Amino acid sequence: MRGLPRLMSSTGVEIWRGGVNTWECDEMGHMNVRFYVTKATEGLVGLAAALGLPNAFAAHAESTLLIREQHIRFLREAHAGAALHMTGGVLAFGEDEARLVQLLWHSESGALAATFQTVVAHVTPRDGRPFPWSARSRALAETLVVDLPEQAAARSVSLDPVISTAGLARADALGLVRIAQGAVSPQDCDIFGRMRAEQFIGRVSDGIPRLVRGFRDTVSEAAAEKPKRVGGAVLEYRLIHLDWPRAGQRLEIRSGLKTADTRTKTMVHWMIDPDTGKAWGTSEAVAITFDLDARKIVPISDAARERLMTQATPGLAL
């Protein structure tokens, strides 16, 4: 995708506003990751309208935006009752793709809660076939260009292009843990019948205790100040959507530990079709062990890291 002249220095146009419901918060006491993506997807509707596609997500759409991948940084917790809003803009515009930035703000403090770099394709609604942007969308994109804020830049994950090796046979060969399995239901799908974007990260979130409970115990038991209650939180995520399951199709999440340092654990999750063996998508997540009372990171000691690395999967990647 080609870059555009930087015509704006602001954070973009407002594309969503709302807040955090109690039922959107999880056992960690803050908004669950699936609802960050839910709000980003709704914000994408607003950004599409700003690009001259107000009906992009309506049943009668002539074109729509299909998410290819997302990079997310979770910067500050959002608790029940928090007021939030989202702004968005354009980072790069190609023949039929674009890299967009979406910034989720705490409305009362003005602090960033999360950032999203979202790569979208301009496609036909039903079959997802890419085709060029209109001249009007290109002209509007010129007016929406923003600089990427430093807080939205990739920090602990690479955004380089990848050729995924994910698949069922590879997951079995690596011994990746099955942390979730099930099927896509009609309510999990968008108006065009494709699984909604938050389902991937949401299913990982549902199944993650299967993988990380032992990791958290390893970190907390070796900590200089052992916390009374521990949980986890994700700092950064990269999700790549390779294909989109539809209602009735099955999926499973296969996961493993990639590496660990003095603060974080990096895990890779593959969403796989167990019937065909192909990958629906892949993701990489950088997470911390979280002291639920002090609301801070539990550092990873040298001894804990050594133990964690014995459980890492060599060669694990997107």
User: What angle in degrees, to the nearest 10, is found between the helix axes of 198-207 and 209-221?
Assistant: 50
Query: Are 137 and 51 within 8 A, CB to CB?
Result: yes
Would you call 223 exposed, middle or buried from its count of C-beta atoms within 10 A (0-12, 13-18, 19+)? middle
Q: What pLDDT digit, counting tens, does each position of 212-261 carry? A: 999 999 999 988 888 889 889 999 999 999 999 999 999 999 999 999 99
Give the confidence band of 120 by pLDDT, cuts at 50, 70, 90. Answer: very high
**Virtual CA dihedral for 48, 50, 53, 54, nearest 10 degrees?**
90
Task: Please state the CATH superfamily assignment of the domain spanning residues 1-153 in this structure.
Answer: Hotdog Thioesterase (3.10.129.10)
Percent of the chain with pLDDT over 70: 97
pLDDT at 205: 96
Overall average pLDDT of the 130-149 stretch: 97
Backbone angles phi, psi at 293, to 5 degrees: -90, -45
Give the confidence band of 2 by pLDDT, cuts at 50, 70, 90. Answer: low
Q: Say if residue 108's pLDDT is above 80.
A: yes
Architecture of the CATH domain 155-318: Roll (3.10)
Q: Say if residue 8's pLDDT is above 80.
A: no
In angstroms, the CA 19 to CA 25 distance is 12
Overall average pLDDT of the 265-270 stretch: 98
Overall average pLDDT of the 57-75 stretch: 97
Overall average pLDDT of the 121-134 stretch: 97
pLDDT at 225: 84
Q: Work out the angle at residue 295's Cα, subtended by the Cα atoms of residues 74 and 154, and round it to the nearest 5 degrees.
A: 20
In angstroms, the CA 125 to CA 22 distance is 34
Query: Are 256 and 174 within 8 A, CB to CB?
Result: yes
> Could you write out the three-class secondary structure of the chain?
CEECCCCCCCCCEEEEEEECCHHHECCCCCECHHHHHHHHHHHHHHHHHHCCCCCCCCCCCCCEEEEEEEEEEECCCCCCCCEEEEEEEEEEECCCEEEEEEEEEECCCCCEEEEEEEEEEEECCCCCCECCCCHHHHHHHHHCECCCCHHHCCCCCCCCCCCCCCCHHHHHHHCCEEEEEEECCHHHECCCCEECCHHHHHHHHHHCHHHHHHHHHHHHHCCCCCCCCEEEEEEEEEEEECCCCECCCEEEEEEEEEEECCCCEEEEEEEECCCCCCEEEEEEEEEEEEECCCCEECCCCHHHHHHHHCCCCCCCCC
pLDDT at 5: 45
Q: Work out the angle at residue 257's Cα, subtended by the Cα atoms of residues 115 and 160, and round it to the nearest 5 degrees.
A: 45
- Range list for CATH 3.10.129.10 in the chain: 1-153, 155-318
Give the confidence band of 9 by pLDDT, cuts at 50, 70, 90. Answer: very low
Backbone angles phi, psi at 182, to 5 degrees: 170, -155
Give the confidence band of 290 by pLDDT, cuts at 50, 70, 90. Answer: confident
Task: Look up residue 313 and give its amino acid.
Answer: T
Q: What pLDDT digit, counting tens, does each position of 149-204 carry? A: 999 999 999 999 999 999 999 999 999 999 999 999 999 999 999 999 999 999 99
In angstroms, the CA 102 to CA 117 distance is 6
